[in-house]
């Protein structure tokens, strides 16, 4: 019965890697669609508090961000350890908040200018005095819709 | 010169490397952001034209001091009891005009939910995390009451209806239907949470 050709010993067929680029491209497209570009690098510590009664911020183009917190370690020598405000990519003082909001609002399309939300990303160790000042500035420029951005979780974890 | 047979094949072996490079670039530069939080409206800066007289019994005062302790209606209170106290105040219904309230109808507390106001005051040195916890409990008190009424009327949680209503992917036919329901439950317990300016002492 010599009809069946015998395989040679130790001759493994090579695994085809031709579809590997397709798999990697699939991964790439997945990450491109589910993530967003980092628009500003954080200069402040930003551990958000937890809350349970939260609402999602749906549309990214209608949100203006304000970061508050202690400067990160490499900036502490220059700026100290008191909580500071970060607007875009730099530290700012309290009286710059109003003009920042107005500038950001002017950049948005006309139809969105009345529905903007200000997202306050505040570190959980910040003091309310600074937040109260920011809120006062926001009221002056009539940016009344705010969102205290938090993580989802049990609010009582904040107290520990 | 002999002609070659067809075009030479391009080696696609390094395609995977290029794609990996792109993938790693996107992994590094992007973040999956956490964009959820407590929505609040700030009061407009110009005072209202007419002075509204609010009776003291319709105001539920919450004070937070710099150590994170709570003074609720002039009594020291634990944060864990705040939600219950706020619910009891909101649905007290002393004047009897609120037929869905299940409160005690205490004459020294609020008249009805649309008159009941929660006033929140904090110190400049209060920690932000404490403030958020208090805000969360007060919003939670409203949500609890609204959920209860929404369950009774529509067999569904209010928070669930509201998030579907606010979701832009919801078809407009469902959204129109939800709009009235959400509005109705909101009007049963209108959120009146006033924040005074902070004190520094």
The domain segmentation of chain A, as residue ranges, is 61-152
Chain A residues near residue B38 by CB distance under 8 angstroms: 51, 53-55, 147-148, 150
Q: Which residue has the tokens 């200018």?
A: A113
The beta-carbon neighbor of A21 closest among B15, B32, B42 is B15
Q: Tell me, yes or no, whether B1 lies in a domain.
A: no
- Give B112-145 pLDDT, tens digit per residue: 888 888 888 888 888 888 888 888 998 899 999 9
**Chain A residue at shortest CA distance from B45:** A139
Identify the band that residue B49 occupies on the pLDDT scale cut at 50, 70 and 90. low
Cβ <8 Å between A129 and B19: no
- Give B20-30 pLDDT, tens digit per residue: 888 888 777 77
Identify the band that residue B201 occupies on the pLDDT scale cut at 50, 70 and 90. very low
Cβ <8 Å between B43 and A38: no
Cβ <8 Å between B68 and A145: no
Residue B174 has pLDDT above 50, yes or no: yes
Q: B40: exposed, middle or buried (C-beta count within 10 Å: 0-12, 13-18, 19+)?
A: middle
The beta-carbon neighbor of A146 closest among B42, B124, B131 is B42
Q: Tell me, yes or no, whether B139 lies in a domain.
A: yes
pLDDT on residue B111:
83
Q: SS3 for A87?
A: strand
Q: Tell me, yes or no, whether B126 lies in a domain.
A: yes
CATH architecture of A61-152: 2-Layer Sandwich (3.30)
Virtual CA dihedral for A70, A72, A77, A80, nearest 10 degrees? 0
CA distance A77 to chain B (A): 24
What do you get for the CA distance between the two ends of chain A, in Å?
Answer: 81
List all residues 6 or more positions away from B52 whose beta carbon is below 8 Å from its beta carbon: none
pLDDT on residue B16:
77
CA distance B108 to chain A (A): 29
Query: Domain limits at B86?
Result: 57-195
Q: Tell me, yes or no, whether B162 lies in a domain.
A: yes
Chain A residues near residue B166 by CB distance under 8 angstroms: 55-56, 58
- Give B53-98 pLDDT, tens digit per residue: 778 888 888 888 888 888 888 888 888 888 888 888 888 877 777 7
d(CA A86, CA A67): 5
Identify the band that residue B198 occupies on the pLDDT scale cut at 50, 70 and 90. low
Cβ <8 Å between A57 and B68: no
What helix, strand, coil percent values describe chain A, rounded to 5? Answer: 40, 20, 40
Q: B67: exposed, middle or buried (C-beta count within 10 Å: 0-12, 13-18, 19+)?
A: exposed
Chain B residues near residue A159 by CB distance under 8 angstroms: 68, 79, 129-130, 133
Report which of A107, A111, A65 is spatially closest to residue A86, judged by C-alpha positions: A65
pLDDT on residue B189:
86
Cβ <8 Å between B30 and A138: no
Q: Tell me, yes or no, whether B97 lies in a domain.
A: yes
Q: Which residue has the tokens 């938090």?
A: A150
Report which of B119, B102, B100 is spatially closest to residue B57, judged by C-alpha positions: B119
The beta-carbon neighbor of B36 closest among A27, A55, A132 is A55
pLDDT on residue A7:
58
Q: Answer with the residue of higher pLDDT: A29 or B7.
A: A29
Query: Of the ranges B90-99, B104-113, B171-180, which is most confident?
Result: B171-180
Cβ <8 Å between A147 and B166: no
pLDDT on residue B166:
81
Residue A86 dihedral angles phi and psi, to the nearest 5°: -115, 125
Q: Tell me, yes or no, whether B46 lies in a domain.
A: no
d(CA A148, CA B129): 11
Q: Tell me, yes or no, whether B100 lies in a domain.
A: yes
Cβ <8 Å between A51 and B135: yes
Chain A residues near residue B40 by CB distance under 8 angstroms: 146-148
Report which DSSP code applies to A146. E
Chain A residues near residue B125 by CB distance under 8 angstroms: 127-129
pLDDT on residue A5:
65
- Report, as ranges of residue numbers, the positions in chain A whose pLDDT lies below 70: 1-3, 5-10, 36-40
pTM for the model stands at 0.77
- Give A4-38 pLDDT, tens digit per residue: 766 556 677 777 777 887 888 888 888 777 776 66
Q: How many domains does chain B have?
A: 1
Q: Tell me, yes or no, whether B17 lies in a domain.
A: no
């Amino acid at each position: 019965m010599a009809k069946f050709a015998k395989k040679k010993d130790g001759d493994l067929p090579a695994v085809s890697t031709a579809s590997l680029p397709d798999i990697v491209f699939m991964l790439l497209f997945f990450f491109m669609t589910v993530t967003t570009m980092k628009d500003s690098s954080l200069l402040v510590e930003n551990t958000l508090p937890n809350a349970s009664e939260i609402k999602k911020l749906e549309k990214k183009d209608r949100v203006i961000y304000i970061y508050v917190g202690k400067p990160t370690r490499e900036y502490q020598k220059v700026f100290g350890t008191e909580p500071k405000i970060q607007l875009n990519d730099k530290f700012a003082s309290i009286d710059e908040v109003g003009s920042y909001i107005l500038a950001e609002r002017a950049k948005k399309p006309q139809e969105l200018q009345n529905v903007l939300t200000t997202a306050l990303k505040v570190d959980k160790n910040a003091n309310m005095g600074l937040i109260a000042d920011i809120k006062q500035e926001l009221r002056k420029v009539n940016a009344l819709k705010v969102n205290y951005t938090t993580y989802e979780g049990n609010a009582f974890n904040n107290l520990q | 010169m002999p002609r070659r047979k067809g075009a030479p094949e391009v080696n696609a072996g390094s395609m995977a490397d290029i794609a990996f490079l792109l993938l790693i670039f996107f992994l590094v530069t992007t973040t999956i952001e956490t964009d959820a939080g407590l929505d609040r409206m700030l009061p407009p800066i110009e005072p209202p034209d007419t002075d509204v007289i609010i009776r003291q019994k319709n105001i539920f005062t919450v004070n937070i001091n710099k150590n994170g302790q709570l003074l609720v209606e002039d009594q020291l209170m634990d944060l864990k009891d705040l939600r219950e106290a706020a619910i009891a105040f909101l649905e007290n219904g002393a004047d009897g005009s609120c037929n869905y309230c299940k409160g005690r109808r205490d004459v020294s507390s609020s008249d009805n939910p649309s008159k009941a106001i929660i006033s929140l005051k904090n110190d400049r040195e209060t920690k932000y995390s404490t403030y958020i916890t208090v805000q969360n409990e007060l919003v939670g008190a409203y949500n609890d009451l609204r959920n209860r009424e929404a369950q009774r009327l529509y067999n569904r949680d209010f928070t669930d209806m509201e998030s579907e209503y606010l979701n832009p992917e919801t078809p407009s036919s469902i959204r129109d239907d939800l709009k009235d329901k959400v509005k109705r439950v909101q009007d049963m317990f209108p959120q009146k949470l006033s924040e005074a300016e902070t004190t520094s002492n």
